[in-house]
Structure 1
Amino acid sequence: MFNLERFVEDCCTAVRRDRTHKSVSEIFDRAFRDPASIATALGEPQKAGLTPIYCSSDLTILNLVWKPSMMIAPHNHNMWATIGVYGGREDNIFWRRIKDDPNGRIEAAGATALSTGDYAPLGSDIIHSVANPITKLTGAIHVYGGDFFEAERSEWDPENLSEQDIDQEKLKALFND
């Protein structure tokens, strides 16, 4: 059975030993064998939200609930992340910078679909966009190797794919609308 306090403690301990995304892989492997117990521990998602579970300078753990058909424009984290879906589906498109582009534009470079029980590590240089392609809420735990809220990050305009500073307030508002 998933225990949120134990999950947080285990992630903190792991990051103290190894500051890479590999440190939390075993923890995710154990936790996401039983995604229903994660949903039970966190509560069945009732509405979209970005809920901090733990935050320090070297680790952030969030419970993200995506509303149906919700999409987030391409963005980076400038830190590693591990994402696990405990209910629903989260589609990620991965992007890469276009070499020598003066506007910092990007182009698609791959994709992955995470369904209930799936998790995936993302390196610190990953740029991705996220979508919930289904008609129900999707719940996911996101663990970041740093302070998610204080990091300098970028996002890319969804229309012209040019780089700009991320607007944290706009991001939070997407989850609250």
Structure 2
Amino acid sequence: MGIDSYNLERFIGDLRRIVASAADEASLLAQVAPLAQRVVAERGWLRADMYSADPALGFGTSLLHVEADQSLFVVVDSWLPGRGVPPHDHDTWAVVVGVEGCERNTFWQRLDAATRPGYAELQPIGEQCIAPGQVLAMPSGSIHSVINQTPHTSLSFHVYGRHLNHTARRQFDPERNLELPFIIDPR
């Protein structure tokens, strides 16, 4: 490891500093995105076991870091070929960087007023494929779905402002207009 290498420990230190000093969420995302790209490029955190995924779910989550207060949640997600997750939000900001393969994200807009528990009307508003090294910064309130359309397991590096199981994160079924809780189980 060279003197200029950017490892996970340095990245976490920078995240702590940015979160403590950023004027607003837009500024925070603008600062975190290039640092997340940089740590992904170094790959010192990457392990072979991160490619494993739950066949029933179609994805796997490997925990890299979470603060004691459940903030600054950093994970690597593996996506089996042809699998992904339905539309969901994070209830916090997020930065995603492609590691291997292509993570196709579809972005959704909520059409209803979010006043009826368990009910949501969504419509797709765009797509973006996150290839290796590409970054996606999502402010709080963003809704997206993910699918791996490649024939191989894909990986992506995710940074969140809070552990997702400690937010009010939701998943959506746009065909049946449903809103449901969305909990993950990181290894």
With structure 1 as the length reference, what TM-score do the two structures score?
0.82
1:50 aligned onto 2:55: no
Question: Residue in 2 aligned with 1:115?
Answer: 131
* Percentage of matched positions with identical amino acids: 26
Alignment coverage as a number of residue pairs: 170
What's the offset of the Cα at 1:75?
0.7
What's the offset of the Cα at 1:30?
4.5
With structure 2 as the length reference, what TM-score do the two structures score?
0.78
For residues 124 and 34 of structure 1, what CA distance do their matches in structure 2 show?
A: 23
Relative to structure 1, the CA distance from residue 96 to residue 128 in structure 2 (aligned partners, 3 Å threshold; closer, same or farther) is same
Structure 2, unmatched stretches of 5+, are 54-59
Structure 1, unmatched stretches of 5+, are none
For residues 171 and 89 of structure 2, what CA distance do their matches in structure 1 show?
A: 7
CA contact (8 A) 2:72 2:160 kept: yes
How big is the alpha-carbon RMSD for the aligned residues of Structure 1 and Structure 2? Answer: 2.5
Relative to structure 1, the CA distance from residue 160 to residue 100 in structure 2 (aligned partners, 3 Å threshold; closer, same or farther) is same
CA contact (8 A) 1:11 1:24 kept: no
CA contact (8 A) 1:88 1:137 kept: yes
CA contact (8 A) 1:2 1:41 kept: no
| 1:57-100 Cα deviation digits (max 9, x unpaired) | 33211111212221101111111101111211111111111235
Question: Residue in 1 aligned with 2:145?
Answer: 129
Question: Residue in 1 aligned with 2:159?
Answer: 143
What's the offset of the Cα at 1:43?
2.4
Question: Residue in 1 aligned with 2:171?
Answer: 155
CA contact (8 A) 1:79 1:144 kept: yes
